[in-house]
């Protein structure tokens, strides 16, 4: 898994129970997705020249442990799959002692900035994600991949 993003929980992310509120898990995982995209070669230059971007279209979060103010969070990321127009990833949010605080499975689509339509990503970006998918394919699938809400 890639270890390409970490952050410290600010006071703004705290709720009335004195732990990280639900919405800021989305912010933190979104930042982890951005780190993955940048790692693969997506950034301002890509957006300007290729006129492409990514939209998150689906996520599933598991909240597994409390996160407190000032906690140092590290994220491990696995690319589960890639298609010419899509990216499937999994993030693990870890506390400083190694416990897993949360996970997020996410699906992103590549979108043309001008038409706001789903389009194929550049060949070089697709190849970068394909290489990550292949290298991560040898790893065991994390617990939680493909999970849905059960009552």
The pLDDT, as a whole number, for residue 17 is 94
Domains by residue range for the chain, with CATH: 2-136 (3.10.129.10)
> In the predicted model, is pLDDT for residue 62 greater than 90?
yes
Q: What residues have CB less than 8 Å from 34, skipping those under 6 apart? A: none
* Number of other CB atoms surrounding residue 125 within 10 Å: 21
Tell me the residue ranges of DSSP E strands in 19-150: 52-63, 72-83, 86-94, 100-112
What would the two tokens of residue 46 be? 């890509």
pLDDT one-digit tens code per residue, 64-97: 999 999 999 999 999 999 999 999 999 999 999 9
Q: Of 85, 77, 87, 75, whose CA–CA distance to 129 is shortest? A: 87
> In the predicted model, is pLDDT for residue 150 greater than 90?
no
pTM of the model: 0.95
What would the two tokens of residue 116 be? 């706001």
> In the predicted model, is pLDDT for residue 148 greater than 90?
no
Q: Of 59, 19, 17, whose CA–CA distance to 9 is shortest? A: 19
Please compute the mean of the pLDDT values over residues 30-42 and round it to a whole number.
Answer: 98
Count, residues in the chain? 151
């Amino acid at each position: 898994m890639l270890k390409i993003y970490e952050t410290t929980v600010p006071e703004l992310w705290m709720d009335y129970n004195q732990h990280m509120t639900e919405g800021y898990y989305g912010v933190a995982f979104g930042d982890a997705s951005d780190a993955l995209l940048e790692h693969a070669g997506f950034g301002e230059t890509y957006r300007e020249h290729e006129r492409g971007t990514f939209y998150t279209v689906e996520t599933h979060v598991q909240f597994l442990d409390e996160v407190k103010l000032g906690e140092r969070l590290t994220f491990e990321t696995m690319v589960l799959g890639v298609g010419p127009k899509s990216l499937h990833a999994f993030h693990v949010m870890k506390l400083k002692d190694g416990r897993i605080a949360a996970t997020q499975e996410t699906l992103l689509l590549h979108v043309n900035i001008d038409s706001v339509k789903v389009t194929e990503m550049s060949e070089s970006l697709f190849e970068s994600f394909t290489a990550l998918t292949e290298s991560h394919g040898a790893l065991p699938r994390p617990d939680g991949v493909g999970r849905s809400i059960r009552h």
